[in-house]
Amino acid sequence: MAESELFKHITSLSTEQNNPASSNIDIATTREILSIINTQDKLVADAVEIEIDNIAVAVDGIVDRFKREGRLFYFGAGTSGRLGVLDASECPPTFGSDPELVQGRIAGGTQAMFVAQEGAEDDPQSGVIDVIESELREKDICCGIAASGRTPYVLGALQKASEIGCFTILVTTAGHNSIEQMGVKADVIISPNVGPEVVAGSTRMKSGTAQKLVLNMLTTAAMVRMGKTFGNVMVDLKQTNAKLKERSKKIIMSICDVDYDTASKLLVDSGHHVKTAIVMSLLNCSREDATNKLNENDGFIKKAIE
């Protein structure tokens, strides 16, 4: 029987190769196993660094569409899909963004977040359907996440999103040469070369770590560009639990140099909106004036108080 094209592609991926550094991991001590994993993990950040120019293009594209009321959608399967859902779910509490702004879709649906639905990734039409049902528009962003770069579900989603006119991004660890040979298309391709996994083919390891780093960079940089921070402090957080309520007060105390009671009152008077409370304090103005100042300056506190 002749080797299939899928077999040839999968076996050619660097993540599927035998890693010499871990070839004897099966007879290593626990301490040695952990040291091997840690040493390999240290290579990931350097691999991501090489892709910063591509990541910057992706962030600029995301910001451009956010400013046009576009949304960011992640599409992935397995580990990649879970990472997309995770990143999307953490944006609202961290940056005060609308839950609709960044969304994650995983092959196999919600249940795949908790129990592997391995066959779900093999159907490109499922990706097409998820794009359609998510009602992607031309001003939206579609970010496919696939370690191998060939996951049918992801490619189906990217193709449909491209037809709609969305800005498309592919995050993979397959390598740019491999992606080019496959003919996979996206407006931006981000592909850190993490090399062979500690356990051959286990892309939840270095590949997953690289993908998580990239997704962190995409949304964090985009949110900073959208005025969601003051310096390096997240000032647009939502007070959805007791911890975040107290963190909000601490932020106001630190930036405005006021005591706990004053910060608490500012938070109430601002309608529990940290950015507004800060501008109210620093400019000694009303909630309405502070809101207007922020709106006039695209939500950037530093611009609003100048």
Residues labelled as active-site residues: 90, 121
- Distance, first Cα to last Cα, the chain: 72
Helix (H, G, I), strand (E, B) or coil at 100: coil
Angle value at C-alpha 260, between 249 and 245, nearest 5 degrees: 25
Alpha helices (runs of H) in the chain, residue ranges in sequence order: 5-12, 30-49, 52-66, 78-95, 124-133, 152-164, 176-182, 206-225, 242-256, 260-269, 274-283, 287-296, 301-305
Whole-angstrom Cα distance, residue 81 to residue 196?
21
Nearest-CA neighbor of 151 among 173, 167, 176? 173
- Judging by DSSP bridges, how do beta strands 229-230 and 188-190 pair with one another? unpaired
Taking CA atoms, 240 is separated from 60, 91, 96, 243, 273, in Å, by 30, 13, 10, 8, 12
Per the listing, tokens 């794009």 go with: 131
- Two tokens at 146? 């696939």
**Strand, helix or coil for residue 172:** coil
What's the CA gap between 75 and 9, in Å, rounded?
21
* Strand 72-76 relative to strand 141-145, pairing: parallel
